[in-house]
Chain A
Amino acid sequence: MLYIFCPHCGLRSQNEFAYGGDATVKRPELNKEISDKDWDNFVYLRKSPRGKHLELWHHISGCRQWIKVERDTSTHEIFKTYKADELTE
């Protein structure tokens, strides 16, 4: 069970969180033309890297904030966590 540092609450067990997928995906702006292909990429296509991955976690049983977690997908090492609005490195 992972031990995740919530930037709002501190170190908490994984069972307080829900996984939210790739944090680098940016939603296309509203009211802007977008091709089928670009929209498909946004909705369906995700990289599944082995190694460093910036991902979203939702502290649902805690502060209910979405946070960004930089985690190694093969070793589970967590390098850094960020608040939703914090700039990532």
Chain B
Amino acid sequence: MSQDFRLDKIGMVNRNKKISFTFNGKKYFGYEGDTIASALIANGVHLVGRSFKYHRPRGFFGVGVDEPYAILQLERNNERDPNIRATEQEIFEGLEVKSVNCWPSVNFDIGAINNFLKMFFPAGFYYKTFMWPPSFWYKIYEPFIRMAAGFGEASIKHDKERYEHKYEYCDLLITGSGPSGLASAYAAAKNGARVILAEDKPRYGGSLLTSDVNIGNQTGIEWSEKIITELKSMSNVIVKNRSQVFGYYDHNMLVMSERISDHLPKTQKYLPKQRLWYIRAKEVLISSGSIERPLVFGNNDTPGVMLSSAAKEYMKVYGVLVGKKPLIFTNNDSGYETAIEFKKNGVNPLILDTRKEPSSDIISEAKNLGIEIKFSYVVVAAKGYKKVKSADIAKISDNKKDLSNIENIECDCICVSGFWTPSIHLASQSGNKSEFNEKIDAFIPKKSKQKENTIGSANGKFTLEETINEAFEKGYEVSNKITENNNKVSIPTVVEKKSTEHDKFWCVPLPKGKSYKRFLDFQNDVAVTDIELALREGFRSIEHVKRYTTLGMATDQGKTSNLNGLQLVSDIENKVVPQVGHTTFRPPYTPVSIGAIVGREVGKHSKPTRKSPMHEWHEKNNAIFVDAGVWLRPRYYKQGNETLFEASKREAKNVRKNVGVCDVTTLGKIDVKGPDAAEFLNRVYTNAWLKLPVGKARYGVMLREDGIVMDDGTTTRISENHYHMTTTTAQAANVLSHLEYYLQLVWPELNVNVVSTTEQWAGAAIAGPNSRALLMKLFPNTDVSNEGLPFMGYKEADLFGFPAKIYRISFSGELAYEVNVESDYGNFMWEKIIEVGKEFQIQPYGTEALSTLRIEMGHVAASELDGRTIPHDASLEGLVSKKKDFIGKRSLSRSAFIKPDREKIVGVVPLDKTTSIPEGSYIVKDPKAKLPNPKLGHVSASCWSVEYDNPFSLAIIKDGKNMIGQKLFAMSPLKNKTIPVEIVSSHYVDPEGKRVRA
């Protein structure tokens, strides 16, 4: 298709580079620098979507972030990118886009039947229509809403693109590179401030790109190019285009999304697709400009009706005509600029001005150019379904209530201007309460809440001279506050056309007997009648009206609809707009991709991965790993075709029979040092610590203040004032914070220091009847006999020339030792143990075998210490001192904790000795009891006992002690299993603990 609407001599697109793309499967051409919108309009395409609720045809209304409905879906290599604004997305070779919210096609849309059923879609239609019966929700309402709603379909595939996060600090962040942004950035940068200037469009300059003005004897465009070039060359300035500052958060943190590769056919090798900037700014100047306000009239949502400023920008920036028979409908001078631009490009517009007898430079200019103008005239209704074909226009009475001389005139577009609305979203997000400015009929920011100032047209300054003067002043003032420099640049003189007052008129009355839909919110399909209905139904608060009618919601955030909605509410209520107030603007100002928010924290990168120094050895020896918090631990070492079950059984058996070695580096380790260390441990742990001799270890349990077990582990007295504490892998960080809390805040008088040494030590647990024999070969110069190194003893030793620490402690219940060396020697230690251990039939064992060993011994772990158990429940009450006080002790005497039938840990064995009991099963007396079956407790951990070769589980059940010997049932509704079981002691193997002391 040829570009029938492309102008030859105007615009900033690169005519030397033709680009092809497809829209709804059809191929079109545009130029480099075109957006999807400008390229489609150049090709005469205006129908791009269907509206949200009534599925009415939708075209282009704006030219940038102001666009409420040209929202498309980008498709590339089977990947989908929804929620793309056609007015922002630049075209690239091979781009494929399609319409959303229509089926089967944009031209023939079944949902459009909603338009004829509109009595079913009044305000609050979600609340009214989909109410009853409840059973309809699942099968009828929800699928219908899902199909009818939404702006596209998200991709369910893994996004291969890269997104980055960046943290930046600056003196001054300026949001928008229009005249006020450029001038303030220049003044501040010249005064030594570190400035970030962000522009959401590809081109800098904002309104200067399209206005006919002079600054310092240069055209607006020339001036903006000069300023930008100079700013880019300054080392204290960061200038970013395609970058939207979309959120203003606490303590002057702003977030910006930079679209780095969205306009390129392929992401470049070293660049991400998008970058999310977290910017902490000392000061912020909000120069986000203003958005033209629509005028409200019949069928004002017809494709071809658009903002007059958008029509002008399509001509001046893209060299594209939005129509060849334009109708300009305005209540102020801005419409004239668009009309003049049409005229200059050889197209004859007709201006309808709602004002009676306005006069200004620009009106005179339009008259002199021979442009036809009708004063006191309005558009009553647009005609045409998929595109404007004509308009009913009429003369309006002085009181703006009566229409006369209604006639139909031919036109192919209607460019509307209802004056300007400052974009106060960022100021509002900052917490700034806005005030209504009668002069411009709009809200402007009031008192700065954070370190922010709003300047330029975002602050209601609509002449260039005011804007430039204010911006230079503010840029200097703010930078002076930070840098204390006094370098003031001179303010250039500004030449612009003077304009006259706008007309407060905004909504065309309906002619008698007509019921045209007059839209306020184009994105959410909210018409005048919807607001009227909501008010009739009693909604008063503007926040309620917003939610009931969906006015100003979703990605649009009321950019074009907000003020007209408020006007209507205040008109009906006989109030003025400031009495009605406005709704809260929320971030993001424009949609942000989930990818940008997530950044690099995807998959494995979503959290750090911690590996022990022996990790490579495990890998080489067929370890299958499991996540233990952020650590990777060997779960089992696979031999041949072994399953997890077979391998872990083999490994555990070998520990019980010969000797095994397990990587225990991940255990938390904390050094506790200082003259009061013993006293501190005595308060932290439930048992007594004052008399532990040097060279001895002790098992300890620590509670939270509420009496619940927080963690357990052994702590060893290394020297007089030095203890080595171990924690479980999962609780290591919490325990350190807990200790620091008590030392810094509760008992600062204790002279103790704690520091994490988890990563300083590599650990290997050597367990099994052969472990001592192995140790004797590893440490030939150290006495490791039962007398020389008894149970819970500690020794420093020499491991082939490297210093090592030996702790005689056991989690497996076997004769066992834990050997620690400095992390760098971890792998050396491990290889030596394997090498020397060969003759003792050593095998490495993983966490699965470790679990089996501890479960059949009745040793508790995280599945029993689950944040609900007190020492009694885990049969740890023997470790609770009656004499001394400690953290959480007082809670243990609360009534619920001393109930005689309180839960207690027991062992569970299936009667058939073959059926494994699923973890999480309930223990019940009668499996056929009426539901909910009163449960006695739950199974916390299950294993296959290698000692007895049958399944064995631990459970925490009511009155556990007295249940031993009883025949009960384990029920798992999840697995649909009911297993007859016998309750036994939790110490299934070696209940006297002979082995560890052997």
Contacts and interface: CB of A to CB of B under 8 A. Distances in A.
Contacts of A65: 740, 744
A60 B741 CA distance: 11
Interface string B615-644: 000000000000000000000000000000
3 tightest A-B CB contacts, nearest first: A3-B251, A30-B885, A84-B744
B741 A58 contact: yes
Contacts of B705: 27, 42-43
B683 interface: yes
A44 B957 CA distance: 26
B280 interface: yes
B745 A34 contact: no
A3 B748 contact: no
B891 interface: yes
Contacts of B529: none
Contact of B745 (A18, A42, A84): A84
Nearest to B894: A36
A27 B746 contact: yes
Interface string A15-49: 00010100000011011001010010011100000
Contacts of B748: 84-85
Contacts, number: 55
Nearest to A78: B251
25 contacts: A1-B251, A1-B253, A1-B278, A2-B250, A2-B251, A3-B250, A3-B251, A3-B252, A3-B253, A3-B280, A20-B741, A31-B884, A31-B885, A34-B890, A42-B705, A43-B705, A43-B891, A56-B745, A65-B744, A66-B741, A66-B744, A75-B431, A76-B251, A84-B748, A85-B748
Nearest to A33: B890
Contacts of A75: 431
Contacts of B885: 30-31
A88 interface: no
Contacts of B253: 1, 3
B895 to A, nearest CB: 8
B779 interface: no
Nearest to A30: B885
Given A27-B746, A75-B431, A58 B737 contact: yes
Contacts of A60: 733, 737
A66 B745 contact: yes
B562 to A, nearest CB: 25
Contacts of B737: 18, 58, 60
Interface residues on B, range: 20 to 34
A35 to B, nearest CB: 10
Nearest to A58: B737
A20 B737 CA distance: 10
A48 B884 CA distance: 34
B706 interface: yes
B840 interface: no
B270 to A, nearest CB: 27
A13 B746 contact: no
Interface string A43-85: 1100000000000101010001110000000011010000011
Contacts of A2: 250-251
Contacts of B683: 30
Contacts of A36: 894
Contacts of B894: 36, 39
B539 interface: no
A17 B141 CA distance: 45
A2 B745 CA distance: 23
Contacts of B733: 60
The listed residue with most A CB atoms (<10 A of its CB), out of B167, B250, B252, B884, is B250
Interface in B724-763: 733, 737, 740-741, 744-746, 748
Given A34-B890, A84-B748, 4 more contacts: A3-B252, A64-B740, A66-B745, A76-B251
Contact of B890 (A3, A39, A66, A84): A39
A44 B896 CA distance: 15
Interface string B702-713: 000110000000
B505 interface: no
B21 interface: no
B686 to A, nearest CB: 14
Nearest to A1: B253
B825 interface: no
B249 interface: yes
Contacts of A27: 705, 746
Contacts of A39: 890-891, 894
B706 A13 contact: no
A65 B885 CA distance: 26
A30 B884 CA distance: 9
Interface in B832-890: 884-885, 890
A43 B746 contact: no
B336 to A, nearest CB: 45
Nearest to A29: B885
Contacts of A85: 744, 748
A20 B745 CA distance: 11
A3 B281 CA distance: 11
Nearest to B449: A75
B612 to A, nearest CB: 23
Contacts of A30: 683, 885
A66 B683 CA distance: 20
Interface string B899-931: 000000000000000000000000000000000
Contacts of B706: 43-44
Contact of B740 (A31, A34, A58, A76): A58
Nearest to B888: A43
The listed residue with most A CB atoms (<10 A of its CB), out of B252, B705, B748, is B705
Nearest to B755: A64
A43 B746 CA distance: 14
Contacts of B250: 1-3, 76
A60 B732 CA distance: 13
B600 to A, nearest CB: 15
A58 B683 CA distance: 21
Interface in B162-195: 167
B119 to A, nearest CB: 44
A43 B897 CA distance: 15
Contacts of A43: 705-706, 891
A88 B57 CA distance: 64
A66 B251 contact: no
A31 B883 CA distance: 10
Contacts of A78: 251
A43 to B, nearest CB: 5
Contacts of B744: 65-66, 84-85
A44 B791 CA distance: 41
B857 to A, nearest CB: 33
A64 B739 CA distance: 11
Nearest to A83: B744
A32 to B, nearest CB: 8
B252 A1 contact: no
A64 to B, nearest CB: 6
Contacts of B745: 56, 66, 84
Contacts of A28: 890
A60 B740 CA distance: 10
A39 B706 CA distance: 9
The listed residue with most A CB atoms (<10 A of its CB), out of B745, B885, B891, is B745
B278 to A, nearest CB: 7
The listed residue with most B CB atoms (<10 A of its CB), out of A30, A65, A78, is A30
A20 B734 CA distance: 12
A66 B745 CA distance: 7
Contacts of B741: 20, 58, 66
B668 to A, nearest CB: 15
The listed residue with most A CB atoms (<10 A of its CB), out of B251, B252, B737, B740, is B251
A56 B738 CA distance: 13
A13 B740 contact: no
Contact of A13 (B280, B431, B890, B891): B280
Interface string B811-846: 000000000000000000000000000000000000
B433 to A, nearest CB: 12
